[in-house]
């Protein structure tokens, strides 16, 4: 396994003024440029630096532009702040060009009714599955990959040795992932960044399972970057290194790809749910 950067260090923001921050986007998180969920995690760090209440509740953003692997500027505005909750807006720019517009809800400590009826997927535990590297060693040739994947210990639930598949498969992807070299984080805003990233991740891999059979080498004529992302943060699990990314791409059409996602713990707790849309872009022909 190639071990790259530390997620906590590579989402860090530095205060440069009142409600103003600066961060450097690392190329370790490359998928068609800086991965959207990684940029969302950086935005969450800036929101957390200004929040007065302790509990991150939800995150919504528009990906306005594609960033480069270079410094970005973050501005945090308080939309509303009350005794029980607050709403913060985070704007990310790079050399004056808008990259992201995000809204973050934060709550005070609170009591209320409790129940849990979410049913976790029936999948093997991460320790019972081979690593991505062990599975890849069984292949005759290397499959293309992005530096992004070197940030994780990945345990796929359903690994296909023959790629592309012979026909369309269900647009579903499930993987256990553990961040490396550091897997857990005491700072709740770094911890929440894990959930944002994993909720943004599965839409394209899920869609590829349905469409890859169309291309002889399994490599598409399209990409589909995220244009928005919403994540509901149900419970925080800062001591849990393994998280299940459970994603589906239920529909694609009119140049758009929809994705839904959930993040689970090995003991069946639902951590976060997400949804968003992606915009298809045709790859240039050589």
Range in 110-119, 211-220, 226-235 the model is least confident about:
211-220
Mean pLDDT on 125-131 = 96
pLDDT at 212: 92
Q: Rounded to 5 degrees, what angle do the CA atoms 58, 42, 45 make?
A: 65
Buried b (16+ CB within 10 A) or exposed e, 263-272: bbbbeeebbb
Instruction: Say if residue 227's pLDDT is above 80.
Output: yes
Mean pLDDT of 200-211: 96
pLDDT greater than 80 at residue 208: yes
The pTM for the full model equals 0.96
pLDDT of 27 above 80: yes
Using the predicted structure, report yes or no on whether residue 40 has a pLDDT greater than 80.
yes
Residue 147 has a pLDDT of 86
Mean pLDDT of 10-17: 98
Residue 286: is its pLDDT beyond 90? no
Res. 144: pLDDT tops 70: no
- Kindly tell me if the per-residue pLDDT of 252 is higher than 60: yes
Rg of the chain taking only CA atoms, in angstroms: 19
211-224: average pLDDT = 87
Q: How confident is the model at residue 4 (pLDDT cuts 50, 70, 90)?
A: confident
- Tokens for 35, please give them: 């991965």
Residue 1 pLDDT exceeds 60: no
Does residue 68 carry a pLDDT above 60?
yes
Rounded to 10 degrees, the C-alpha dihedral 201/203/207/212 comes to -20
Distances (CA, A) of 242 to 19, 126, 265, 271: 33, 7, 7, 12
Query: Taking CA 182 as the corner, what is the angle to CA 12 and CA 40, rounded to the nearest 5 degrees?
Result: 40
Q: Which residue has the higher pLDDT, 285 or 99?
A: 99
All residues at 6 or more sequence positions from 127 whose CB lies less than 8 Å from its CB, including other chains: none
Q: What is the pLDDT of residue 255?
A: 97
Share of the chain above pLDDT 90, in %: 86
Residue 59 predicted with pLDDT over 90 = yes
The angle, 0 to 180 degrees and rounded to 10, between the axes of the packed helices 36-50 and 188-200 is 150
Q: Which two tokens stand for residue 178?
A: 């553990």
Cα–Cα distance for residue pair 226/203, rounded to 1 Å: 9
* Residue 25, token pair as written in the block: 């986007």
Alpha-carbon distance of 154 to 91, in angstroms, equals: 32
Query: If you average pLDDT over every residue of the chain, what do you get?
Result: 94
Pick the residue with more confidence: 95 or 138? 95
Residue 3 pLDDT > 80? no
């Amino acid at each position: 396994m190639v071990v790259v950067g530390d997620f906590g260090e590579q989402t860090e923001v530095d205060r440069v003024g009142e409600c103003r921050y600066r961060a450097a986007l690392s190329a370790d998180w490359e998928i068609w440029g800086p991965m959207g969920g990684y940029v969302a995690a950086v935005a969450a760090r800036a929101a957390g630096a200004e929040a007065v209440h302790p509990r991150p509740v939800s995150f919504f953003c528009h990906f306005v532009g594609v960033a480069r692997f270079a410094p970005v500027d973050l501005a945090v505005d308080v939309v509303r702040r009350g005794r029980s909750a607050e709403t913060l807006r985070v704007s990310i720019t790079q050399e004056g060009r808008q990259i992201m517009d995000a809204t973050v809800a934060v709550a005070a400590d609170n009591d209320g009714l409790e129940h849990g009826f979410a049913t976790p997927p029936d999948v093997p535990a991460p320790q019972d599955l081979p690593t991505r590297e062990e599975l890849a060693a069984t292949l005759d040739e290397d499959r293309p990959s992005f530096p992004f994947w070197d940030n994780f210990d990945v345990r796929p639930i359903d690994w296909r040795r023959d790629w592309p598949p012979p026909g369309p498969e269900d647009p579903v992807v499930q993987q256990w992932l553990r961040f490396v070299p550091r897997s857990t984080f005491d700072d709740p805003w770094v911890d929440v960044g894990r959930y944002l990233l994993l909720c943004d991740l599965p839409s394209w891999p899920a869609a590829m399972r349905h469409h890859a059979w169309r291309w002889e080498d399994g490599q598409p004529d399209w990409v589909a970057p995220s244009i928005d992302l919403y994540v509901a943060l149900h419970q925080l699990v800062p001591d849990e290194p393994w998280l299940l990314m459970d994603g589906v791409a239920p529909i694609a059409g009119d140049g758009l790809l929809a994705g839904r996602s959930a993040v689970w713990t090995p003991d069946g707790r639902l951590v976060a749910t997400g949804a968003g849309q992606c915009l298809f872009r045709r790859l240039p022909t050589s």
